[in-house]
Structure 1
């Protein structure tokens, strides 16, 4: 036992040196079938341990992760076989499998901890794994060409399959108590029926516009209850507009959160459509304008995530929002979308009477949606900082854009590149709103 533990330690040390690009030789590895199995088990233990630590040890092990990990072991062995055949050195198959596996436990410590830090970090990890794997081929099999190129192609395919083909599997699942807690609020009969009253009351309390007096209406939409930052940001923005932009009595916020079931109607697409329809009825179409703020997670297909356990809520898409706005009859619109990939909302919503502001380009992530934060990066820059300096939505965007770029550069993040479209009609309408006394 002591001998095998010593071999495992030496292999892990060699794997660490390989991953950190420190000098390492083929003779530094201990090669046997048992050594390979020990490394495979070490990688699995590291995967489980990191997931459990990140979850605060709340939850339980997910047995369905075992087949995925076994498939990854088969993938390593298959790759080692292909490389050994390319080199004409089948006797080194196990040596290469050990070298490829020796760095894996270290990667298992890094990858889960770095998840959620953005797409750039993901690609850095992929590149790091690829370079380390190619280095393992060179160390064990030699650097002669074209065999090394063939080996690099094989390990590149291995890594692509591992990262992008194998299904994402959570090795540590939330406990049943956590799941019940997440959905307990709405599952209570009182909260369930109260939701119907909240939306009806909010719609009924929207005041009608005054003829001859251009006014601003506010609608906030935070449909993702999985993290509290969206709710906190929504609360602040609604209060800001009620107090600074005079929307009190003409504002409504929709938010999904178990902490706000008695405060706001749920942020569902259906409720959003009802709210915008009611605003369209209440406002003077030719005089009044809408400020619509949306804050949530976004994906590459430009869908805004919606979560309110135990309900299954539909995600909001740019085309769905465009249709809802068209049906509402609202003419003058300012729309701010704070989400990853939110630039995908600009093109479907732009027209002469609309301003669209997005926290990120269509192919970029935005930042700051971690649990416990008061604002997303863009929300903080635009609503808290920029609108404290100016009442102009366009000037505030330029200020916020610079603030976000500065923060992202300081943290080494890929620029999110916030976007804006300003139709000529809405620009003139907002000037009239800004000139109102008391606004």
Structure 2
């Protein structure tokens, strides 16, 4: 049985993605949720017309194993290719950091440790403080999302977002089984929160034979034509639904929460590929 270390740690923004293999929940007992308060980040400088160039972004692969516990590159494939896609969409390479839970060194990614992700996000926000993007792709449960050996609870993520991104426009994509559990804690007027599955549902595509989790694959497929983040979230939701229906899987029912104050901002900010 797989096991995870539980230790106090920190984090900020995020998009989360995870799955069950062959239509089943990910195997292994998940540990008790953890969290600790984060240090505040100074407010952003006045906005400009640079699109996403002055946004801070972290893209995290939270595990390196399939639902059966065998090695799988699916989360790291998504992490690497999503980061490149966000750069093409207008994010600055200098303001994106990648994190991997893999057992070996990675040439472009740091280790997926909650505290390191949090401190890195804080540093990025000191120079790129106009908005926040966090994308996490991993396994999840109804208690939170896996990051390395640690299970990160919804209330911990909410605390981090409140104290780091504060009132900045924020996009949080949670791509994991049961990731809808994050919506009540993370939803806010300044945030778009996207979850790959309803709180009581699994998501799919993290076996050793999959290139990407289904939700991440749909995000990559639709990003070039979507135009902006709200349109991308809806396009990914429809894409996942169609694929699951075609494969006769129990629907994962991706969830979207678009805050009232961030909606016009995200409609205005267009992806560069558009």
Task: Mark the CA change 1:321 to 1:119 in structure 2 (over 3 Å): closer, same or farther.
Answer: same
Deviates more, 1:257-266 or 1:415-424: 257-266
Q: Is the 1:276–1:324 contact (alpha carbons within 8 Å) kept by the matching residues of 2?
A: no
State the 1:282 CA deviation.
2.1
The answer for the alignment partner of 1:164 in structure 2 is none
Alignment of 1:325-344 (within 5 A): 325-330=161-166, 331-344=168-181
Please tell me whether residue 277 in structure 1 is matched to residue 122 in structure 2.
yes
State the 1:388 CA deviation.
2.1
Q: Which has the higher helix share?
A: 1
The root-mean-square deviation of aligned C-alpha atoms, in Å, is 2.7
The separation in 2 between residues aligned to 1:405 and 1:246, in whole angstroms, is 28
The answer for the alignment partner of 1:381 in structure 2 is 218
State the 1:395 CA deviation.
1.5
The answer for the alignment partner of 1:184 in structure 2 is none
- Tell me the alpha carbon deviations over residues 56-106 of structure 1, each in whole angstroms, 9 at most, x when there is no partner: xxxxxxxxxxxxxxxxxxxxxxxxxxxxxxxxxxxxxxxxxxxxxxxxxxx
Q: Is the 1:254–1:271 contact (alpha carbons within 8 Å) kept by the matching residues of 2?
A: no
The separation in 1 between residues aligned to 2:273 and 2:242, in whole angstroms, is 34
Task: Mark the CA change 1:362 to 1:265 in structure 2 (over 3 Å): closer, same or farther.
Answer: same
State the 1:119 CA deviation.
4.3
State the 1:210 CA deviation.
8.4
Q: Which residue, 153, 162, 185 being the options, matches 1:348?
A: 185
State the 1:260 CA deviation.
4.1
Q: Is the 2:175–2:215 contact (alpha carbons within 8 Å) kept by the matching residues of 1?
A: yes
State the 1:381 CA deviation.
0.8
Alignment of 1:391-410 (within 5 A): 391-410=227-246
> What runs of 5+ residues in structure 2 fail to find an aligned partner?
1-19, 30-43, 66-71
- Tell me the alpha carbon deviations over residues 212-252 of structure 1, each in whole angstroms, 9 at most, x when there is no partner: 34533321111212231101100000001112223221111
The answer for the alignment partner of 1:298 in structure 2 is 140
Q: Is the 1:225–1:306 contact (alpha carbons within 8 Å) kept by the matching residues of 2?
A: no
Q: Which residue, 256, 268, 289 being the options, matches 2:131?
A: 289
Task: Mark the CA change 1:273 to 1:400 in structure 2 (over 3 Å): closer, same or farther.
Answer: same
> What runs of 5+ residues in structure 1 fail to find an aligned partner?
1-114, 123-166, 169-207, 308-312
Runs of 4+ in 1 over 4 A off after TM superposition: 208-211
- Tell me the alpha carbon deviations over residues 39-67 of structure 1, each in whole angstroms, 9 at most, x when there is no partner: xxxxxxxxxxxxxxxxxxxxxxxxxxxxx
Task: Mark the CA change 1:356 to 1:340 in structure 2 (over 3 Å): closer, same or farther.
Answer: same
TM-score under structure 2 normalisation? 0.76
Q: Compare relative contact order (CA 8 Å, sep 6+) and give the higher one, 1 or 2.
A: 2
Secondary structure of 2:262's aligned partner: helix
Please tell me whether residue 224 in structure 1 is matched to residue 68 in structure 2.
no
TM-score under structure 1 normalisation? 0.48
The answer for the alignment partner of 1:314 in structure 2 is 150
Please tell me whether residue 212 in structure 1 is matched to residue 52 in structure 2.
no
The separation in 2 between residues aligned to 1:388 and 1:414, in whole angstroms, is 28
The answer for the alignment partner of 2:247 in structure 1 is 411
Q: Is the 1:220–1:253 contact (alpha carbons within 8 Å) kept by the matching residues of 2?
A: yes
Task: Mark the CA change 1:251 to 1:410 in structure 2 (over 3 Å): closer, same or farther.
Answer: same
The separation in 1 between residues aligned to 2:131 and 2:156, in whole angstroms, is 20
Secondary structure of 2:226's aligned partner: coil
Q: Is the 1:267–1:306 contact (alpha carbons within 8 Å) kept by the matching residues of 2?
A: yes
Secondary structure of 1:425's aligned partner: coil
The separation in 1 between residues aligned to 2:105 and 2:84, in whole angstroms, is 15
Q: Is the 2:89–2:224 contact (alpha carbons within 8 Å) kept by the matching residues of 1?
A: no
The separation in 1 between residues aligned to 2:273 and 2:179, in whole angstroms, is 33
Q: Which has the higher strand share?
A: 2
Larger radius of gyration: 1
The separation in 2 between residues aligned to 1:224 and 1:321, in whole angstroms, is 18
State the 1:279 CA deviation.
2.7
